[in-house]
Amino acid sequence: MSNVDDQPPSIDYAKASADLKRYLLLKLATFAWLLAVFGLATYAIAATWGEWWPYTNLNLSNLDEAKPAIYAFFSGMLGAAVYALRGFYWAVGPQSPTIRRYQYDPNFTLWYVARPVMGAFLGVFSFAVLRAGIGTLGTASTDAGATAAYFAVAFLAGFSATEVLTWLWTLARRIFSTQEISAGASSQQESPEEEGGDG
């Protein structure tokens, strides 16, 4: 059963028109940015696949090895752009004083700008994690199945950047735990004594 709070507000068209005109230039600039990012990421993925410009002028010695990382970068950007565009059209639509997603806040402009950039780097990081063997998607960079998997995971990393950052925080705390560091330092200090003992 759907929650009443999740339903879109009833539309008062006169008020909706007035709401849309408020911060209109900022809204148009934000929309243009998101469309530009969407277009850039889509073209970059297609150009990498078909080896169109700029690859025809770059003369890369080993483009096949670089392709998965390029796919991951722009797939993460594309996923984040889709997520930001979804939030944007909710926010600029008919306003509701009781539902947060239907309220346009100009303070979120930097979020709309930064989200695709962050998504691109999270996409590359997800690619690096998989290539390092932490994932289970194979290691052949030119394999079509592996490339599709990199694309999908990078897109999801960009789309769900908040969840990825939470996962990274948990992973970092587990890897760089101060208890583990202390234990490692203690074992390093004890090892020379064990090796050079009188035994």
CB 92 within 8 A of CB 20: yes
Angle, nearest 10°, between helix axes 63-92 and 144-159? 30
Query: Looking at 10-14, 112-116, 145-149, 191-195, which range is the least confident one?
Result: 191-195
User: What's the DSSP call for residue 101?
Assistant: G
CB 73 within 8 A of CB 116: no
Cα separation, 104 vs 22, in Å, equals 9
The pLDDT value recorded for residue 138 is 47
Question: What tens digit of pLDDT does each residue of 95-115 get?
Answer: 888 999 999 999 999 999 999
CA 114 to chain centre: 10
Contacts of 3 (CB under 8 A, 6+ apart): none
Question: How does residue 139 score in pLDDT terms, banded at 50, 70 and 90?
Answer: very low
Provide the sign of the torsion angle of the four alpha carbons 167, 114, 84, 73, taken in this order: negative
pLDDT single digits (tens) 48-88: 989 899 988 887 778 888 888 999 999 999 999 999 999 99
Taking the mean position of all CA atoms in its chain, how far away is CA 168? 12
Instruction: State pLDDT tens for residues 11-53.
Output: 778 888 888 899 999 999 999 999 999 999 999 999 998 989 9
What is the C-alpha separation between 69 and 82, in angstroms, rounded?
Answer: 20
What type of residue is 197? G
Which has the closest alpha carbon to 68: 135, 161, 160, 167?
Answer: 135
